[in-house]
Amino acid sequence: MAEGVKPRVKVPKSASAGEVITIKTLISHKMESGQRKDGDGNPIARSIINRFVADFNGQNVIDVTLEPAISTNPYFQFEATVPESGEFTFTWYDDDGSVYETTKSIEVS
Amino acid sequence: MTLTRRDVFVLGSAAFAGTALAGMPAFASATDDLIAEFTGGAEAGSGALVLTAPEIAENGNTVPIEVDAPGAVAVAIFADGNPVPAVATFNFGPLNPSRSASTRIRLAKSQNVIAVAKMEDGSFVRADAAVKVTIGGCGG
């Protein structure tokens, strides 16, 4: 597991039914591209997050495939429709097999 | 024929120019191959796809980009001057109304960023944006 990986997600606490909300996500990760070399000229092995998925109550919102060209601390902003109260699940998949997950609930009135 | 210093220099630079030229189309075709793989060989037209990228990026390590593709199922992003041209693929789910997303990408040098969207009817739409990069983002 890469060190110091911390997901941060911004979701409004409440919304009206069917409203379109904006979600911002950021996860601290060095996203080593596999292109860089260390001081001795040896290539540094690739270590990135290769997939990010956001779901709401089991329904998919966005599913992103990441390549090494995504910057350090991958950031995503996107929109979602919220038909009812429920929970957003955000999942990041690391090259090394680790899975980072965080959830946010939203109140729909 | 005897080779003078000048002849050797001219020959050398000609050979260098030759390899440089041969190298360039290889890069471009790698991107084209990836696009063809994504579209399944279909021709990508222009349409309801907006790719927003800065004209000049001071730092190639974090270049903010945004895609806005109403009616798209998936959008793939490519950077034709990067060692690995593929950047990201966004697959939009049923709860995503606007089919837009923004992120930050790495660009090794000044180049074209290309977005290809797969629409709901199975057609493909393409948008290009040229980005000038002041400091490259590949740690080279």
> What are the pLDDT digits (tens) for B51-78?
999 999 888 899 999 999 888 999 999 9
Give me the number of domains chain A comprises.
1
Give the residues of chain B that fall short of pLDDT 50.
18, 20-26, 140
Q: What is the CATH number of the domain that holds A19?
A: 2.60.40.10
The pLDDT of residue B79: 92
- What residues of chain A lie within 8 A of the CB of B103, using their CB? 64, 70-71, 74-77
B71: left (phi over 0), alpha (psi -120 to 50) or beta: left
> What are the pLDDT digits (tens) for A7-30?
999 999 999 988 899 999 999 998
| B115: containing domain | 5-133
The pLDDT of residue B38: 86
Residue A96, min C-alpha distance to chain B (Å): 19
Instruction: Say if A21 falls within a structural domain.
Output: yes
User: What residues are paired with B132 via a beta bridge?
Assistant: B56
CB contact under 8 A, A36 and B82: no
User: Which residue type occupies B39?
Assistant: T
Instruction: Say if A26 falls within a structural domain.
Output: yes
Instruction: Say if B139 falls within a structural domain.
Output: no
Asked whether B48 and B64 are in contact (CB, 8 A), the reply is: no
Instruction: Say if B140 falls within a structural domain.
Output: no
Of B101, B105, B140, the CB nearest to A71: B105
Give the Cα separation of A9 and A25 in Å (integer): 4
| A34: containing domain | 6-108
Instruction: Say if A81 falls within a structural domain.
Output: yes
Instruction: Say if A13 falls within a structural domain.
Output: yes
Instruction: Say if B110 falls within a structural domain.
Output: yes
ipTM over 0.90: no
**Among A32, A79, A81, which would you mutate to test the B interface (most chain B Cβ atoms within 10 Å of its Cβ)?**
A79
Instruction: Say if A1 falls within a structural domain.
Output: no
For residue A61, the chain B residue with the least C-alpha distance is: B93
The pLDDT of residue A78: 94
Instruction: Say if A24 falls within a structural domain.
Output: yes
Q: What is the CATH number of the domain that holds B120?
A: 2.60.40.2470
Instruction: Say if B119 falls within a structural domain.
Output: yes
Give the Cα separation of B31 and A41 in Å (integer): 28
Instruction: Say if B138 falls within a structural domain.
Output: no
Give me the number of domains chain B comprises.
1
Give the Cα separation of A71 and B108 in Å (integer): 12
Residue B80 corresponds to which tokens in the numbers above? 């034709």
Residue A36, min C-alpha distance to chain B (Å): 6
CB contact under 8 A, B103 and A56: no
The CA angle B83-B133-A24, to the nearest 5 degrees, is 85
Asked whether A48 and A68 are in contact (CB, 8 A), the reply is: yes
Nearest Cα neighbor of B127 from B78, B86, B88 is B78
